[in-house]
């Protein structure tokens, strides 16, 4: 057994052996001493002796004060031994790049990997894109790098499903499998099931109902191909499969390892892109990624990221992982969309979806409520008609008396609305919206079972927004009384950091990428805290609205021309703050619809291109910048979109 061999070696090694030597010994034991695992053996049947040996090795390393044990969980799709062979060389590479470290590998199933993240038993995880999104939306994960595919010109797209049948079977497309038996690894497996379900859904096929029976066989994946091959010899009909779903390149890899003859199999609906050497029945998605859990420190994550990106293409660790190295973590938006369309996304569904589901389940009550609402509206309109008729009679008698007074009130309203009414309505909109978002977040947490005590932080944020609204009113009152606005020494980047979270909910809802860059040596400046925060909110809200508008236009164009293969639009907003010697330069750039009118026209009071806009946002921004002795400029961005720039001089 593995752990017995390791224990026999341990006295010979002694305390003088370094962590690197221990790792080399462990690697040799893994390669030479591991018992042969049957390809049909599941992960749960793996002997615990290997875990005992890992524990002994970790103990030897940890007892040296300078060594750090780092636990890495990896999804074991082909069993324990294959997982060790694929990923242990990468652990060795990381140890050579990060001094005084020992990376302990944990091959785990889907549920075990999720449990390890939930209980903070792991520092890093390596898994497929489907589970990566599910984990990242439920737990605190930071994705550090993504594998580059050797089959796709080094790109990070290599995950999909292959729908496999025997070469002598009568099936040629997915449509031929109606009422047949389909073997899968798991109903939560991404490349082994979900990508094919989504591909079928795009073709108008509900795969779980379309086929006759879905049979999950679990890990390792090799079992699916072996079970498909054993159909002719299987006496029990329940053991027979008509087709199997495996991740892309599974067939080709087993052929390379000499486990099967690939000519005995066919892949249905092959749509492999040009230059991609594996057959695939679905579109391709981002490759496997590595992520940091909340247990690992940020400096360690940075070191691991640098080590992964530095891995050469031809290094044995890259070849063992079936890759040409690592690249920066790629976007998971396509996977988010897949999970949403399959109603499997971990985030809570919008209220209107829940309401629609309730209506479909309780149609009789829905019709009753609708009937009551119709009757109430009819009664309401009847009352309105009665009041309107009586009102017209009263208005006709008072019209002459009120005519002169109306002229005076109109002039007064214009004066008040110009300086107080409209400004108050516009400026209070942001804190009120933030309060609404926090209340919505508290409601969602309560629905998830969060205790009232845990909502204290949310209530504190709501109170903070109430205080900010009161500050806005005080500031407007001061302006009306012609008193100078209160200014105090502040760091502008801290105001930026305090303001950005107020719009985080809206950015997340519309998948807007926000980047903040601060350069130069920070220094204190006398700033109007409320005014500067309102300036930032106005500009960020305008940028977000432009991105949302362009997003809708791009989506409409895509629906009108579904064959257009152009790159999908990704909304983004960049905040660049530079502390220069004589001034502070703040630039906010978006890639939205851009300026539709001249900048000078847009900065006129009460002029707005929005149907519900008051036309005061940019006027307020210019006023605030000039009250600090600075300037405010608005222009089109070089790559499309809009760029707003505020320059505030440095005062000693």
Tell which residue, 114, 157, 167, has the closest CA to residue 136: 114
Average pLDDT of span 114-132: 87
Looking at CATH, the fold of the domain delimited by 488-649 is given as: Heat Shock Protein 90 (3.30.565)
Residue 209 is inside which H or E element, if any? Answer: helix 207-210
Give percent above pLDDT 70 in the chain. Answer: 75
Q: C-alpha 12: how far from its chain's center?
A: 50
Label residue 355 by pLDDT band (50, 70, 90). Answer: confident
Asked if 180 contacts 278 with a C-beta cutoff of 8 angstroms, the reply is: no
- pLDDT tens for 168-185 read 999 999 999 999 999 998
Residue 649 is inside which H or E element, if any? Answer: strand 642-649
What pLDDT is stored for residue 238 in this prediction?
Answer: 63
Which of the following CATH numbers is that of domain 2-143+293-319: 3.40.50.11540, 3.40.190.10, 3.90.730.10, 2.30.130.30?
A: 3.40.190.10
Average pLDDT of span 606-622: 69
> In 297-362, which residue ranges form alpha helices assigned H by DSSP?
298-309, 316-320, 333-341, 351-361
Residue 598 CA to residue 609 CA, distance in Å, equals: 11
Average pLDDT score over the chain? 77
One fold for 2-143+293-319 and 488-649: no
Give percent above pLDDT 90 in the chain. Answer: 19
What pLDDT is stored for residue 303 in this prediction?
Answer: 93
Tell which residue, 191, 475, 546, 232, has the closest CA to residue 335: 191
Label residue 367 by pLDDT band (50, 70, 90). Answer: confident
Name the β-bridge partners of 578: 519, 585
Most confident of 12-16, 192-196, 439-443: 192-196
* 388's tokens: 């309107």
- pLDDT tens for 409-428 read 334 334 334 434 544 565 57
Angle of helix 422-447 relative to helix 529-560, nearest 10 degrees, comes to: 70
Label residue 518 by pLDDT band (50, 70, 90). Answer: very high
Least confident among 14-18, 60-64, 564-568: 14-18
Give the start-to-end residue ranges of the domains of the chain: 2-143+293-319, 161-283, 357-480, 488-649
Least confident among 20-34, 427-441, 510-524: 20-34
Average pLDDT of span 314-327: 88
pLDDT at 235 over 50: no
Tell which residue, 423, 450, 394, has the closest CA to residue 606: 423
- pLDDT tens for 389-412 read 888 888 877 776 556 444 433 343
* Helix (H), strand (E), coil (C) string for 361-373: HCHHHHHHHHHHH
Report the CATH number of the 161-283 domain.
3.40.190.10
What's the length of the chain? 652
What pLDDT is stored for residue 219 in this prediction?
Answer: 77
pTM of the model: 0.40
Higher pLDDT pick, 486 / 154: 486
């Amino acid at each position: 057994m593995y752990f017995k061999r390791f224990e026999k070696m341990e006295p010979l090694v002694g305390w003088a052996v370094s962590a690197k030597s221990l790792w080399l010994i462990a690697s040799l034991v893994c390669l030479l001493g591991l018992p042969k695992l049957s390809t049909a053996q599941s992960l749960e049947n793996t002997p615990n002796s290997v875990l005992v040996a890992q524990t002994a090795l970790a103990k030897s390393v940890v007892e040296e004060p300078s060594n750090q044990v780092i636990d890495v969980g990896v999804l074991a799709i082909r069993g324990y031994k294959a997982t060790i062979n694929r990923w242990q060389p990468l652990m060795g590479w990381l140890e050579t790049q990060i001094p005084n470290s020992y990376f302990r590998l944990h091959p785990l199933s889907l549920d075990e990997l999720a449990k390890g993240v939930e209980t903070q038993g792991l520092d890093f995880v390596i898994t497929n894109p489907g589970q990566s999104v599910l984990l990242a939306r439920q737990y605190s994960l930071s994705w550090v790098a993504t594998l580059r595919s050797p089959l796709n010109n080094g790109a990070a797209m290599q995950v999909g499903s292959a729908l496999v049948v025997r070469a002598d079977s009568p099936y040629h497309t997915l449509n031929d499998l109606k009422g047949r038996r389909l073997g899968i690894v798991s109903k939560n497996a991404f490349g082994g099931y979900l990508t094919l379900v989504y591909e079928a859904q795009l073709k108008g096929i509900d795969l779980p109902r379309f086929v006759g029976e879905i049979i999950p066989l679990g890990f390792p994946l090799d079992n699916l191909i072996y079970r498909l091959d054993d159909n002719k010899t299987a006496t029990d009909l329940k053991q027979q499969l008509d087709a199997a779903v495996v991740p892309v390149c599974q067939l080709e890899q087993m052929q390379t390892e000499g486990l099967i003859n690939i000519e005995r199999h066919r892949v249905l609906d092959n749509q492999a892109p040009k230059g991609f050497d594996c057959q695939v029945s679905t579109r391709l998605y981002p490759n496997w990624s590595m992520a940091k859990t909340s247990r690992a420190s940020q400096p360690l994550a940075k070191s691991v990221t640098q080590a992964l990106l530095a891995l050469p293409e031809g290094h044995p660790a890259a070849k063992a992982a079936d890759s040409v190295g690592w690249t920066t973590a790629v976007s998971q938006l396509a996977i988010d969309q897949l999970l949403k369309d399959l109603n499997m996304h971990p985030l809570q569904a919008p209220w209107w979806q829940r309401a629609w589901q309730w209506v479909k389940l309780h149609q009789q009550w829905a019709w009753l409520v609708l009937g009551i609402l119709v009757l109430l509206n009819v009664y309401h309109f009847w009352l309105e008609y009665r009041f309107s008729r009586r009102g017209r009679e009263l208005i006709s008698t008072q019209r002459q008396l009120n005519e002169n007074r109306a002229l005076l009130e109109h002039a007064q309203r214009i004066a008040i609305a110009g300086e107080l009414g409209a400004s108050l309505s516009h400026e209070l909109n942001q804190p009120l919206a933030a309060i609404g978002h926090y209340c919505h977040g508290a409601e969602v947490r309560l629905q998830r079972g969060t205790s009232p005590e845990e909502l204290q932080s949310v209530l504190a944020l709501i109170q903070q927004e109430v205080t900010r609204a009161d500050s806005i009113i005080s500031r407007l009152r001061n302006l009306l009384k012609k008193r100078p606005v209160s200014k105090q020494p502040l760091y502008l980047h801290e105001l930026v950091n305090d303001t950005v979270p107020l719009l985080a909910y809206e950015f997340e809802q519309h998948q807007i990428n926000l980047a903040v860059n601060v350069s130069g040596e920070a220094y204190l400046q006398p700033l109007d805290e409320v005014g500067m925060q309102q300036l930032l909110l106005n500009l960020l809200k305008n940028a977000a609205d432009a991105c949302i508008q362009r997003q809708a236009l791009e989506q409409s164009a895509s629906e009108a021309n579904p064959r257009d293969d152009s790159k999908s639009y990704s909304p983004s907003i960049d905040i660049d703050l530079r502390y220069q010697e004589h001034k502070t330069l703040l630039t906010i750039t978006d890639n939205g619809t851009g300026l539709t009118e001249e900048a000078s026209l847009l900065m006129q009071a009460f002029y707005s291109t929005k149907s519900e806009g008051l036309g005061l946002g940019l006027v307020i921004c210019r006023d605030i910048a000039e009250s600090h002795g600075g300037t405010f400029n608005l222009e089109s961005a070089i790559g499309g979109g809009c760029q707003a720039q505020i320059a505030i001089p440095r005062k000693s």
